């Protein structure tokens, strides 16, 4: 059982003991946290009500040059051992990965009565219920603002600012790497791999960039936000996820011709089924976003989250979603939160706004019931009857086509690109049409479906 008294005791004297931080993981963000705590030390002390000092650090490679002086801090080779140190009040976990050393360290921290701050969305998406449950039972603070949308205080916004509202819907751009890639491809015409390499060099991308480009990272973040917004247990496995790796420059050009940009959009809302049961819909998918939608103007590694509260109305949270400074800003804000809370204790701390034991296990909603407009892209053999075959499938499935474009692709002889935008209709009808076309010899590649973002 954790010993909450290992956090410094409440005191109102001006000489409160400092908050002592152990930092695990010294990558882009870890080095940023050290720089921030050093640069803004006086300001942080005034706001936190006590000094915040790093006492111990750990990372995989001690010798690596990170551009920060580590000599003032104790070094631990075994990062999971930092939780047991007597000179540590809060463990900051910046190692990453849903399991492995990050999870061991997080569990150890709670067991040893240390506060826990993490930027690890994969770990929270997979183990957040367990970690928050044990932290709550032990009266230990757990914070993960930096896990979602970098420097944007969207978790604080949902936990605190919107706490009085029923949230109707939340949606937005949660992956800086994808947004950087899409908006840079759109602006420069450069190719996907080239822009991805630049995003990696800038420190936006995950260690395994497939987490970014296949939508997994955004899905981790969405599942965390959904839990707080809708009072539901995290259900990462049910996030319908599609990334941007199948997009072609031609999709970006066609979207542009139709009046849209393409953005990887994460959406969550509750939906009441025909049986009257409320379910949770969560989707990450590239969407066509109309030029006049505010998310169309979110460029580079910026993230933006729209939250619709039943009394607050529509709120927009926007800012840098990745990078050392913004992410460090969110990490240290959480540390300050814990430093402030020491005066009152953490017995009623609720990382997910509602105690974990009170979060509902909501079933996933069936997307087939949703009504949407869709962009469908086919790469087809350029021969008579192909277009008729596709439109017949649409007709037979009851999908109404709003516009249709056929473009020859000079670089791949004998294949053409066919793009359709449908009228609004049930998503199940589009899925039906695509099933009818499955295995067709006319299709040179599986069709690509993206939905249009409607207000």
Where does this chain bind ligand HSE (CB under 6 A)? 150, 175-177, 204-206, 212, 217, 321-322
Q: Give the 3-state secondary structure of residue 242.
A: coil
C-alpha–C-alpha distance, residues 259 and 214, integer Å: 25
- E-assigned strand segments in 218-312: 240-241, 260-272, 278-290, 302-309
Give whichever of 145 and 308 is closer to ligand HSE, judged by the CB atom: 145
Smallest gap from residue 333 Cβ to ligand HSE (A): 16
Query: Taking the CB of residue 12, how many other CB atoms lie within 10 A of it?
Result: 7
Report in angstroms how near the CB of residue 9 gets to ligand HSE at its nearest.
35
153/321 with CB nearer ligand HSE:
321
Say which residues have a Cβ less than 8 Å from residue 131's Cβ, sequence separation at least 6.
Answer: 106, 107, 110, 116, 123, 124, 142
Provide, rounded to whole angstroms, the least separation between the CB of residue 156 and ligand HSE.
16
- How many whole angstroms separate alpha carbon 104 and alpha carbon 165? 35
Rank residues 125 and 229 by Cβ distance to ligand HSE and give the closer one: 125
Q: Considering the complex, state which of residue 180 and residue 230 has its C-beta at the smaller distance from ligand HSE.
A: 180
Shortest reach from residue 300's CB to ligand HSE, in Å = 11
Nearer to ligand HSE, 55 or 177 (CB): 177
Measured from the CB of residue 177, what is the shortest distance to ligand HSE in angstroms? 3
CA distance 299 to 280: 29
- Rounded CA-CA distance 211/329 in Å is 23
When computed from its CA atoms, the radius of gyration of the chain, rounded to whole angstroms, is: 24
Query: How far from the centroid of its chain's Cα atoms is residue 453's Cα?
Result: 18
Residue 162's closest CA among 317, 351, 311? 311
Q: How far, in whole angstroms, is CA 112 from its chain's centroid?
A: 29
In the complex, minimum distance from the CB of residue 285 to ligand HSE, in angstroms, rounded to a whole number: 16
| Nearest alpha-carbon partner for 313 in 150, 94, 162, 128 | 162
C-beta of 91: minimal distance to ligand HSE in Å?
20
Q: Which of 114, 121, 156, 221 is catalytic?
A: 221
Nearer to ligand HSE, 103 or 124 (CB): 124
Strands of 74-75's sheet in order across: 74-75, 52-58, 19-24, 90-93, 115-118, 142-143
**Beta carbon of residue 212, minimum distance to ligand HSE (angstroms, whole number):** 5
121 in catalytic set: no
Q: Which is nearer to ligand HSE, 17 or 203 (CB)?
A: 203
Nearer to ligand HSE, 177 or 227 (CB): 177
User: Which DSSP helix (H) or strand (E) runs through 142?
Assistant: strand 142-143
**Angle ∠(427,432,433) on CA atoms, nearest 5:** 100
Task: Determine the length of the chain.
Answer: 455
Question: Pairing relation of β-strands 278-290 and 240-241?
Answer: parallel
> Cβ(113)–Cβ(95) under 8 Å?
no
Token couple for 135:
């932290």
Give catalytic residue positions. Answer: 221
């Amino acid at each position: 059982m954790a010993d909450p008294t290992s956090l410094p005791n409440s005191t109102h004297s001006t000489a409160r003991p400092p908050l002592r931080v152990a930092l695990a993981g010294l990558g882009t963000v870890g080095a940023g946290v050290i720089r921030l705590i050093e640069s803004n030390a006086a300001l942080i002390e005034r706001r936190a009500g006590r000094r915040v000092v790093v006492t111990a650090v750990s990372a995989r490679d001690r010798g690596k040059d990170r551009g920060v002086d580590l000599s003032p801090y104790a070094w631990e080779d075994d990062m999971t051992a930092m939780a047991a140190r007597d000179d540590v009040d809060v463990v900051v976990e910046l190692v990453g990965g849903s399991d492995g050393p990050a999870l061991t360290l997080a569990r150890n921290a709670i067991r040893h009565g240390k506060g826990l701050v993490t930027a690890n969305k994969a770990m929270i998406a997979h183990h957040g219920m367990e970690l928050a449950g044990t932290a709550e039972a032990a009266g230990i603070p757990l914070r993960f603002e930096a896990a979602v949308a970098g420097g944007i205080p969207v978790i604080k916004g949902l936990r605190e600012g919107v706490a009085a509202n029923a949230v109707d819907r939340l949606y937005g751009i949660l992956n800086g790497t994808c947004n950087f890639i899409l908006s840079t491809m759109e602006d420069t015409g450069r190719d996907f791999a080239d822009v991805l390499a630049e995003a990696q060099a800038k420190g936006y991308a995950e260690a395994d960039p497939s987490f970014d480009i296949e939508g997994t990272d955004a899905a981790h973040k969405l599942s965390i936000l959904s839990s707080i917004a809708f009072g539901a247990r995290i259900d990462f496995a049910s996030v319908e996820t599609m990334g941007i790796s199948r997009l072609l420059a031609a999709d970006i050009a066609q979207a542009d011709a139709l009046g849209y940009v393409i953005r990887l959009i994460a959406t969550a809302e509750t939906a009441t089924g025909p049986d009257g049961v409320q379910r949770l819909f969560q989707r990450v998918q590239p969407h066509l976003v109309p030029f006049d939608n505010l998310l169309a103007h979110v460029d580079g590694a910026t993230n933006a989250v729209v939250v619709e509260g039943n009394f607050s109305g529509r709120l927009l949270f926007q800012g840098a979603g990745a990078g050392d400074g913004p992410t460090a800003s969110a990490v240290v804000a959480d540390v300050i939160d814990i430093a402030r809370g020491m005066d009152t204790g953490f017995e009623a701390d609720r990382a997910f706004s509602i105690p974990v034991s009170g979060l509902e296990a909501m079933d996933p909603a069936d997307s087939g019931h949703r009504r949407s407009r869709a962009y469908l892209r086919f790469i087809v053999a350029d021969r008579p009857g192909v277009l008729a075959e596709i439109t017949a499938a649409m007709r037979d499935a009851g999908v109404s086509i709003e516009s249709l474009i056929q473009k020859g692709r000079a670089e791949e002889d004998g294949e053409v690109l066919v793009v359709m935008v449908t009228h609004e209709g049930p998503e199940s009808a589009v899925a039906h049409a695509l099933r009818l076309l499955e295995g067709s010899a006319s299709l040179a590649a599986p069709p690509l479906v993206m939905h249009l973002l409607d207000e």
